[in-house]
Amino acid sequence: QSALTQPASVSGSPGQSITISCIGTSRDIGAYNYVSWYQQHPGKAPKLMIYEVTTRPSGVSNRFSGSKSGNTASLTISGLQPEDEAYYYCCSYTNILTAKTLAVFGGGTKVTV
């Protein structure tokens, strides 16, 4: 069982916007502004899309945006494109002394375009 809860799948048509939720607790998402999001295409390594809740690394399209409210983080993809079809994972920094892990991931969301 993953520590963070994501929907199994989200779908949208080209050009539409979709939002993926990531539900944590007051010990991870709620405690730190260190939420990151990763895109993974089949057979490939994950790619960092968002970190520190809202920051996009250089080279990541501004169609990807992140937000957080309380214990829930969200990733929004606007202007959906076929190449956005992939799995998306959220991740939160946490306290290794209490959580027994330093970072917790969500179970992943399959985005279908």
Partner 1 sequence: EVQLVESGGGLVKPGGSLRLSCAASGFTFSPAWLTWVRQAPGKGLEWVARIKTGGPADYAAPVKGRFIISRDDSKNTVSLQMNSLKKEDEGVYYCVLGIPRHWDDAFDIWGQGTMVTVSS
Residues lying near partner 1 in the complex (CB under 8 A) are found at 2, 32, 34, 36, 38, 45-48, 51-52, 57, 89, 91, 93, 96, 100-108
Whole-angstrom Cα distance, residue 72 to residue 2? 15
- Nearest distance from C-beta of residue 13 to partner 1, angstroms: 26
Query: Which lies closer to partner 1 via its Cβ, residue 80 or residue 91?
Result: 91
- Nearest distance from C-beta of residue 34 to partner 1, angstroms: 4
Query: Which lies closer to partner 1 via its Cβ, residue 2 or residue 16?
Result: 2
Helix/strand/coil (H, E, C) string of 18-86?
Answer: EEEEEECCCCCCCCCCCEEEEEECCCCCCEEEEECCCECCCCCCCCEEEEEECCEEEEEECCCCHHHCE
Query: Which lies closer to partner 1 via its Cβ, residue 102 or residue 112?
Result: 102
- Nearest distance from C-beta of residue 79 to partner 1, angstroms: 24
Angle at 52 between CA 90 and CA 11, to 5 degrees: 35
- Nearest distance from C-beta of residue 83 to partner 1, angstroms: 18
